[in-house]
A and B are shown apart, each in its own frame.
Chain A
Amino acid sequence: NAGVTQTPKFQVLKTGQSMTLQCAQDMNHNSMYWYRQDPGMGLRLIYYSASEGTTDKGEVPNGYNVSRLNKREFSLRLESAAPSQTSVYFCASSAFETGTKGAKNIQYFGAGTRLSVL
């Protein structure tokens, strides 16, 4: 199992450019997440998808869109990048299922994408 795979690892954009961050997991998890990590702010949830076909906003969704393409893949799109979106982005997946708690609720993280917007 590769776990959670994110591409690209690094990206530099100019203000106003668009790009899509890709994420794929091979653990057959239902839930997938996108976070951004900023110094002093910790990890903040951008969007998540509890199951294939559903997406929900997290704490900081503005300026982003997501697509749960299938059970494996969850992409994050920046339509018009801004310098405030310079960050490290992490994708995660878990087998969390609504209404249940326990051993399946562990999140597995990708290696991260370091994005700079100039």
Chain B
Amino acid sequence: AQRVTQPEKLLSVFKGAPVELKCNYSYSGSPELFWYVQYSRQRLQLLLRHISRESIKGFTADLNKGETSFHLKKPFAQEEDSAMYYCALLTDKLIFGTGTRLQVFP
């Protein structure tokens, strides 16, 4: 079955703390994975995708095929990182996880 699992509904950290938002996937093919972000009252937008191996706003995500994971990490969280984060798997369509709300306190 094709599935994306984000085990944490809410992640709360203080400013400057490291952040890791977990994402695991289930897919028999070669996965193409994305992280999308939705800031308060804004539309969903692409944050990063694994094939480009980029760092956006200090976030990185590494695909680990052995653990079927694509966790999103940032070494030092900022208040403006507070948002809803969705991990997504591309098959013939985009399958989203249930999302993790990140709260960064000052």
Contacts and interface: CB of A to CB of B under 8 A. Distances in A.
Interface of A: 33, 35, 40-45, 48, 50, 58, 90, 92, 94, 96, 98, 101-102, 105-112
Contacts of B32: 101, 105
A109 B92 contact: no
Interface in B64-100: 86, 90, 92-99
B46 A107 contact: yes
Interface of B: 6, 9, 32, 34, 36, 42-46, 49, 51, 86, 90, 92-99
B86 A43 contact: yes
Contact of B43 (A42, A48, A98, A110): A110
Contacts of A44: 96
B94 A42 contact: no
B97 A106 contact: no
Contacts, number: 49
Contacts of B34: 106
Contacts of A48: 93
B94 A109 contact: no
12 contacts: A42-B86, A42-B96, A43-B99, A58-B93, A90-B43, A94-B94, A96-B90, A101-B32, A105-B90, A107-B36, A107-B46, A109-B45
B93 A42 contact: no
B5 to A, nearest CB: 10
Contacts of A109: 43-45
B43 A111 contact: yes
B96 A43 contact: yes
B9 A40 contact: yes
Contact of A42 (B45, B51, B99): B99
